[in-house]
Amino acid sequence: MKFEGVGGHLFAIAIKLSNAMGFSGYVFFDAKNMKLVDHYAKSFGARRVMARVHVYRMDIDEINAQKLLENYTLEGDLNVR
């Protein structure tokens, strides 16, 4: 598949930005559906967070964020202000 692995790289970029901003890699996001909730949990160690804001709200904690960064190589450096 042409775009296989793109999601993991996008999460790695978000985690790198989280680190740069002092949040230790912690990120949260909204999955589109239950199929993706299961995929993100299995692939990235994401957890579903019960929230009124969005039924499929998830997070990736600092430990799983570090594991994800070890699996995805980011070329170049992100300019964070």
The pTM of this model reads 0.83
Residue 56 identity? Y
pLDDT (tens digit per residue) in 8-37: 889 999 999 999 999 999 999 999 999 999
The contacts of residue 53 (CB under 8 Å, 6+ apart) are 30
Q: What is the dihedral of CA 9, 65, 13, 26, to 10 degrees?
A: 140
Among residues 11, 10, 17, which one has the least CA distance to residue 80? 17
Report whether 41 contacts 48 (CB < 8 A). Answer: yes
- Distance between CA atoms of 34 and 58, rounded to whole angstroms? 11
